[in-house]
Amino acid sequence: MLLVLLLAACWGRGMLAGSPPGPAVHSLRGSWWLGSGNGSVVLRGDVPGCVHTALLRQGLIQDPYYRFNDLTYRWISLDNWTYSRTFKTPFDVRKWQKVNLVFEGVDTVAQILINNVTVGRTDNMFNRYSFDITSVIKEVNFIEVRFLSAISYAAKQSRSHRAYSVPPQCPPPVQKGECHVNFIRKEQCSFSWDWGPSFPSQGIWKDVRIEAYNFCHLIYFTLTPSYVKSAQQWSLEIESVFDVVSSKPVVGLVTVNIPKLQTQQTYTTELPPGEARIVLLVNISKSTTVQTWWPSGHGNQTGYDMTTTFNMGAGYKIEKFSKAYFRTVELVEEPIPGSPGLSFYFRINGLPIFIKGSNWIPADSFQDRVSSDMLKLILQSTVDANMNALRVWGGGVYEQDEFYDICNELGIMIWQDFMFACALYPTDQNYLESVRAEVTHQVKRLKSHPCITLWSGNNENEAAIAGDWFSIPQDKMKVYILDYVKLYVKNIQEIVIAEDKSRPYITSSPTNGKESVKERWLSQNPYDTHYGDTHFYDYLSDCWNWTVYPKTRFASEYGFQSWPSFSTLEKVSSTEDWSYTSNFSLHRQHHAAGNNQMLHQAGLHFKLPQNTDPLKLFKDTIYLTQVMQAQCIKAETEFYRRSQSEIINGEGHTMGSLYWQLNDIWQAPSWASLEYGGKWKMLHYFAQHFFAPLLPVGYEDDGVLYIYGVSDLHSDCELTLQATISQQGDLYAFVLQTTAVTPFVWLDVGNIQGRFNDNGFLMTEKRKVVVFYPWEPVSIEELEKSLSLTSLMDIY
């Protein structure tokens, strides 16, 4: 909410009588013209938005997610599109000392023209651009944003990097993606990933507006709390960044008021011409008790209303309403008795917290389709499954403001990666300058959010060098190591430390933390269980055998794939696709051998489906992959959780489990526990249990793990299970009755949006009531019609 409020305060405020006018703003959101490179396709499209969604909304293309359309529509991303429109400035442009054209986000490479004059260029999707258009703007204007295909740009940049190649060149063929994504500052998974399609979008993906002002203008406003132990007092650092257009220094008074904390302070400030930064320290009154912000499951997420008023002389006034949160975060890396290495855990408000959660990827290939309702639904599902944290993974995007607002409210801690993943990156001057601007902007934009508890330089790039993923000859390695340190230490870390001292920074995930630093930022083995965090994947070993799992300090990635439900797949497929071995099923699987790995893993414990009805066979197989995934991740997570307080053979004190991955970008097999659209897979219901605050885990010391009910899984007992549904207010109760012990009972209501209070459970009682929470109005009749019930006993 912070930035939204900030802008509202700056633009919306009128001036005091007789004072110089405050800023004026003119939004350029709305309908624009879009044209393809040779002008053969011209259409209207919304801003914020992108070419793909504009074409879809105009009915010029089918759903890009339908069947093989990711390949069919490759031409869209290969073309160079132009966005344009005319606009009338609703204010007299001559009265303003400075007029800026501000883009909160341009995707990605573009030349910007106003009235046929180039006013700027963009090359970074994650940067904010502000172009001075004072001398160009008129009463009526024509604006053009001429894009260059991200694919062609990345290829061109790679070609011109002559001294040495920067791998990987291309993704593996199974991903059906585009090459050289590491040469463009754009969502890395938009060129394809092992769970996602290649849709290198083009468009204006965030707000765009004209801002006009005299005197001075507030650009950034941030809050960072800290606790001063010696004084036993909270303080709040307020940083404000202004553009001062007045030729003389601007002198003013700033008043900060936090009524509920009985804190009011006034400061005198002087802003020099040009970009001016002021930092104020507000000491919170000791006469009240400050309620701290806590992660979900540990306390409330208290925030305090606060007003900051800038009286900048001559009656020029800016009023800023925000919420102040108070919490401390420490990443504790210290020796552990009886164990070589160092601990790796988070202390929030002085209390060690076990991190329970998952990894977040972009919720859609087209960011303009990620609605606030969808964010709320997915993030609510996160806390509903007893999670307290998510990692915003480095191959996606820095999420929109609302994402972090919701996490603040729900108590979801965020491990925030910078957007670099599974690759080496160039460090030439232009590239570095672009990254520096990106990092500075993103840290300023995000640092007021209490939910963010860690900055992390990249995803798996330390491991990529240490493990030589790209077969670099040893004598050439030095240059890549230097580039690595230059990017993540000498640039990104340096900026983070300058901008935000209130939370820790690690260079990579996985990393050995302090030990990696000691080894000059690149550990020989970043997966060392005695230090830092680990990522662990093993699809071949029996996942019920806990001895295969690393007894790590912190499990930040681990997982198994499954297929999404039939109702989700049905929307993007046709009858001939509905088999496990169809071209469609192969096409949607982006992880080599993934479909076989799922059957292999399921086959270790379950009878594989054999039904002669092809559709039933497909649905049974989907069900079984979800059973397998839920059971595997449960076994692994329970292992991590029970390793919290023990050291065995020098390993243990595990303090985090973030499974891979929370959500999906499209309808395809993946590691996710939530399907595209938010539907819960069996794993998500299991997460609710294995992340429960009180968790019984059954295991024996001799190395054998017994999971309750497992011995009954292949019982030959006859059983009948049918269900009745009744309405209780907005909820629906399903009464289940069984004549025998029933494993992995699965209720599915197809496309009806909502979730059950439990699912995929072992039914040992004769009668059980399951509640359905609908996310949209629904009738009993619709539920009855859509309900299907499956248990392991139905698979034969």
* Site map 667..696 versus ligand BMA, x via CB under 6 A: ----x-------------------------
Stretch of 187-195, 403-411, 517-525, 695-703 contacting ligand BMA, by CB under 6 A: 187-195
β-pair partners for 658: 357
**Region label for 760, one of left (φ > 0), alpha (ψ between -120 and 50) or beta (otherwise):** left
End-to-end CA distance of the chain: 53
Q: Counting contacts by CB under 6 A, is residue 533 touching ligand BMA? A: no
Q: Which stretch binds ligand BMA (CB under 6 A): 188-196, 423-431, 526-534, 645-653?
A: 188-196
Nearer of residues 451 and 464 to ligand BMA, judged by Cβ: 464
Residue 586 DSSP one-character state: H
Asked whether position 175 contacts ligand BMA by CB under 6 A, the answer is no
Among 107, 123, 187, 194, binds ligand BMA (CB under 6 A): 194
Q: Judged by CB, which is closer to ligand BMA: 193, or 544?
A: 193
User: Containing H/E element for 208?
Assistant: strand 208-213
Smaller CB separation from ligand BMA, 317 or 535:
535
Q: 557-596 mask for ligand BMA (x: CB under 6 A)? A: x---------------------------------------
> Taking CB under 6 A as the criterion, which residues in 384-423 touch ligand BMA?
395, 422
- 314 dihedral zone (left: phi>0; alpha: psi -120 to 50; beta): left
Q: Is 460 a catalytic residue?
A: yes
Is residue 53 within 8 Å of 81, Cβ to Cβ?
no
DSSP labels for 21-83? P--EEEE--EEEEEE-TTSS-EEEEEES--HHHHHHHTTSS--TTSTTHHHHTHHHHHS--EE
Asked whether the beta carbons of 682 and 629 are under 8 A apart, the reply is yes
Q: How far is the CB of 273 from ligand BMA (least distance, A)?
A: 46
Contacting residue, 660, 690, 732, 746, with ligand BMA by CB under 6 A:
660
Question: Cα–Cα distances in Å, from 267 out to 1, 35, 162, 298, 324?
Answer: 25, 52, 54, 36, 18
Residue 714 identity (one-letter amino acid): H
Should residue 460 be labelled a site residue for ligand BMA when binding is judged by CB under 6 A? yes
Give min distance, CB of 277 to ligand BMA, in A: 36
User: Within 13 Å and on the Cβ side, how many CA atoms surround 687?
Assistant: 29
Catalytic residue among 557, 638, 651, 675: 557
Nearer to ligand BMA, 224 or 461 (CB): 461
Q: Compute the C-alpha angle 57/60/64, nearest 5°.
A: 70
CB of 637 to ligand BMA, least distance (A): 16
187 is an active site residue: no
Contacts of 128 (CB under 8 A, 6+ apart): 102, 103, 104, 105, 441, 445
Instruction: Give dist(CA 217, CA 250) in Å, integer.
Output: 11
Instruction: Select the residue interacting with ligand BMA from 73, 129, 195, 666 (CB under 6 A).
Output: 195
Nearer to ligand BMA, 104 or 364 (CB): 364
Task: Please give the torsion angle defined by the CA atoms of residues 436, 437, 439 and 445, in that order, rounded to the nearest 10 degrees.
Answer: 160
Name the residue nearer to ligand BMA (CB basis): 79 or 557.
557
Tell me which of 460, 462, 636, 638 is the catalytic residue: 460
Q: How far is CA 344 from CA 353, 383, 532, 556, 660, in A?
A: 11, 23, 5, 11, 19
Among 317, 535, 679, 689, interactor with ligand BMA by CB under 6 A: 535
Taking contact as CB under 6 A, which single stretch among the options 50-58, 192-200, 404-412, 711-719 is the one that binds ligand BMA? 192-200
Residue 218: burial class (beta carbons within 10 Å; 0-12, 13-18, 19+): buried
Task: Please state, as a whole number, how many other Cβ atoms lie within 10 Å of the Cβ of residue 140.
Answer: 9
User: Which range touches ligand BMA (CB under 6 A), out of 101-109, 126-134, 193-201, 332-340?
Assistant: 193-201
Q: How many residues bind ligand BMA (CB under 6 A)?
A: 11
Residues of this chain that bind ligand BMA (CB under 6 A) = 193-195, 395, 422, 459-460, 535, 557, 660, 671
- Active-site residues: which are they? 460, 557
